[in-house]
Amino acid sequence: MSYEHSARFYDLFGARDDGDFLAELAARCGGPALVAGAGTAREALVLADAGLEVVAFDASPAMLAVAAGKVAERKLARRVRLVRADARRFHFRRRFPLVVALNVFDHFVADGDAAAALRNVKGHLAPGGRAVLNANTPAWRPNVDPTEEARTPGNRRVTRRVKFAPTTRRNVYAVELWFDVFRRDQLVERHLEKSDARLFRPDELRRLAASAGLTVEDTYSNFAGTRFKAGDGRAVFIFK
Ligand SMILES: C[S@@+](CC[C@H](N)C(=O)[O-])C[C@H]1O[C@@H](n2cnc3c(N)ncnc32)[C@H](O)[C@@H]1O
């Protein structure tokens, strides 16, 4: 998914609950932090607010443009560096005590994508550092409201409809995001973003991480720190 049409709507939908978790990791690990698949700089801004210098990268120019606007508005350009890069093949000439890759592994659909990203995470992790990433597991069931509504900063009404469908590939499902923008009740824009998304068995990700040289410190099923147990639909891993 390029997020070309939907980047500007990204922050309007889907409440996130990872802020305190990230702030705690920032305090524990220190910086600089590397954020992979940084999107609209959501996590990067939390880490910068916690006092860390941040390098945040993403593959999508549209997402990076939104991120740049937020970083400029918050006057954080000296603390948050935004870079266009691919998580499967990025290379920065430094190592980071904290690496964050949230809500990105779903995008690693092709065989080898997740393994390549994990090797790069390991390659950029400073000795003693921690990496946090999450994934949906095969027990995951969509719990998003299929149609949500929000208001743009310009006070236009936007609806997002989400459709999930199985594909012929095991643990890969198709996602469609439909965005409708209304001006006074008139439909003025309609955008569709489509992609496949991948579910990971926790043991599969742990195995790939181990091959990359990472060890699991903890696995949670949410950002409130609940320990992961078999049958949970979300997994949050802390690797070292
Ligand atoms: C669901 S968004 C998550 C953004 C942000 N981490 C968050 O949680 O708000 C997924 C992001 O991953 C990015 N992405 C997908 N594949 C990528 C890749 N191979 N390399 C870098 N970024 C990627 C997308 O462009 C998008 O910004």
Q: Is the CB of 102 under 6 A from ligand 1?
A: yes
Work out the end-to-end distance of the chain between its first and last CA atoms, rounded to an integer number of angstroms: 29
Report residue 28 as tokens.
């524990």
Alpha-carbon span 230 to 137, nearest angstrom: 10
Rounded distance from Cα 87 to ligand 1 centre (Å) = 9
Per the structure, the count of domains in the chain is 2
Buried b (16+ CB within 10 A) or exposed e, 25-60: bbeebbbbbbbbbbbbbbbbbbbbebebebbbbbbb
pLDDT of residue 181: 96
pLDDT of residue 15: 79
> Quick one: 194 and 156 in the same domain?
yes
> Quick one: 54 and 85 in the same domain?
yes
Q: Is the CB of 67 under 6 A from ligand 1?
A: no
pLDDT of residue 19: 97
Which residue's CA is minimally distant from atom 27 of ligand 1? Answer: 39
Residue 91 domain boundaries: 7-138+200-239
pLDDT of residue 84: 98
Rounded distance from Cα 189 to ligand 1 centre (Å) = 24
| 187 burial level (CB within 10 Å; 0-12, 13-18, 19+) | exposed
Q: Which residues pair with 172 in a beta bridge?
A: 198
| Count of residues in the chain | 240
Alpha-carbon span 191 to 103, nearest angstrom: 22
- Residue 158 placed within a domain: yes
> Quick one: 154 and 110 in the same domain?
no
> Quick one: 56 and 152 in the same domain?
no
| 64 burial level (CB within 10 Å; 0-12, 13-18, 19+) | buried
pLDDT of residue 26: 98
Q: Is the CB of 13 under 6 A from ligand 1?
A: no
pLDDT of residue 1: 77
Q: Is the CB of 198 under 6 A from ligand 1?
A: no
> Quick one: 89 and 164 in the same domain?
no
Q: Is the CB of 63 under 6 A from ligand 1?
A: yes
Which parts of the chain register pLDDT below 50?
Answer: none
pLDDT of residue 14: 79
